[in-house]
Every structure is written in C-alpha cells, then in structure tokens.
Amino acid sequence: MSGHASTLRRADNALLLSDVHLSAARPDISERFLHCLHQQLRGVDQLFILGDLFELWIGDDAADALADELGSSLAAIAATGVQIHFMHGNRDFLLGTQYAAKAGMQLLPDPSIVVSGQRRILLAHGDAWCTDDLPYQALRRQVRDPAWQREFLALSPAQRLAMAQQARDASRNHTSQASEDIMDVNPDQVVHAFAQHQVDCIIHGHTHRPADHRHAEGLRHVLGDWYQHSSWLRLRAGELSRHGRVLTSAG
Ligand code: MN
C-alpha cells in the first residue's frame, strides 16, 4: 500500500463527496451536482472531492464543453472563498494542474489525513484498497506510472479516447457484468490503513456502496455515487453528518 499520507490540514467546516461521474451523456447529473453545491456550500469553508468527479478524463488538453463549464462554476465557488480540494479517482487520475488551476481546485494526494475537532480522519478514493481485484491493481500500477502517463498524454486525443474505451471494454469482459467500481475494499487493507495512519475515521468513495461501518479500529464512512441522487457528508469540528443526519458527535 502507499506510504505516508500527505501534510495534515484542518477541516472543521467541510463538505465531502465523490463519484459524481460527470459526463456529456448525463446532463441531469451536472445539474444535480451544481444545484447541490449551491445549496450545501452556504457557510462551508472547504469542499473535498474524493475522486471520479468525471466519468472519464484523458488529459487537460482534451477537456470538453461540459468540463469547461464545470470548471468555470467551480472557479466561481472558489472565488467566494471556498477551498476546493480534489483527489484523483480511477476515472479522472489524469486530471492535471492546468485544469485544477482553471477550476480553482487544489490537488490532494490519495490518501490524505485531515484533523477535525479532536478527530484524525483519513480521506481516500478507495480503489487502492480493492486488492482482491488483481487485474485492476495491475492496471492501476501501469496507468499511475509517470512514464506511462507521459507516453499516453503525447498521443492525440482521438488515440487516447480509443485506448480508454478499449481498457473499459477489457475491464468489462474481465469482471463480466460487474464493473471495477463495484468491487469492495479488502477488510485487511482497511484495518491496515487505520493503524498505519493512526486515524479513528476513514472516508472514501469508489465502491458506490454508501454506508457507515463500525470497525474495532474506528468508523468508516463510504460516499455514494451521483447517478440517481446526491451523496455527501458534512464535517463540522469532528461531527459528521450525512444529508443532515448526525453520524458521530464531535470527537
Ligand atoms: Mn472510482
């Protein structure tokens, strides 16, 4: 598993979400997402996007109209004083500094620790813990390699798109009808993450299985996808709530 989590930061007044999977084919999701941000970000200092904001990202230079518009909306939110932190998912791991800057987002390493109240919380996308899916982990190692990424980004957008679609088809064949997104995290990896990072709470997405798990080592909150509904967590000085329902009192 990956080494040390990034620099500690405080998150005493934050909104967290993941797996929006924005795409031109689903304008309803973009609409839901922007509507939710408009409503839920009032009075919030920080927004944490924990990966897979986009259904597919093949490079900042290939951003489509939807990405341009969304980037402008996020930049406008950032201009009001909301810090936007973006962590890569397995769909948008190629989102780079150029687009992030345009959208007013800061790139956040996976995993990262935040401190809220007295609580230490580990934030992750979650795919790195899905270690039971060996072919996926092999693919992950390949596409997260900087040399592979340089080569890939040097191809034309059309070539990149073709390769991405090929990889998607291969993955679909491998997992039959279950996509890589619905493989769950490995329990041993979760236990290891609590200990390695000395946290009492983990928040991640990726599995599209929103739930609040109680482990011996601490709490694990899984964010949901946005295909049919919005899905977010609110963090206030150690107190976590899901859609307004309090999950944990301030720690
Ligand atoms: Mn994912």
**Structural domain of 158:** 6-248
Does residue 1 lie within any of the structural domains? no
**168-191 pLDDT, tens per residue?**
887 777 665 555 555 899 999 999
Q: Whole-model pTM?
A: 0.93
Helices (H) and strands (E) in the chain, counts: 7, 13
E strands within 36-185?
46-50, 83-87, 105-107, 112-116, 119-124
Q: Ligand 1 centroid vs 9 CA: distance in angstroms?
A: 24
Q: In total, how many domains does the chain have? A: 1
Percent of the chain with pLDDT over 70: 93
Residue 56 maps to a domain: yes
Residue 45 lies in a domain: yes
For residue range 76-107, what is the model confidence (pLDDT) as tens digits? 999 999 999 999 999 999 999 999 999 999 99
* pLDDT value of position 179: 55
Number of neighbours of residue 50 by Cβ within 10 angstroms: 28
| CA angle, residues 240, 245, 246, in degrees to nearest 5 | 40
Count CA atoms within 13 Å of residue 65 on its CB side.
Answer: 3
In a domain? residue 198: yes
Q: Are 48 and 17 in contact (CB under 8 A)?
A: yes
240 inside domain: yes
In a domain, 192, yes or no: yes
Q: Give the span between the Cα atoms of 82 and 130, in whole angstroms.
A: 32
Task: Report CA(66)–ligand 1 centroid distance (Å).
Answer: 20
Question: What is the percent of the chain with per-residue pLDDT over 90, rounded to a whole number?
Answer: 84
Kindly state whether residue 168 falls inside one of the protein's structural domains: yes
**Position 120 pLDDT exceeds 80:** yes
Distance CA 7, CA 115 (A): 11
Using the mean position of ligand 1's atoms as its centre, give its distance from the Cα of residue 53 in Å.
9
Greatest pairwise CA separation for the chain in angstroms: 51
Residue 120 lies in a domain: yes
Average pLDDT on 216-229 reads 96
What's the CATH number where 150 sits? 3.60.21.10
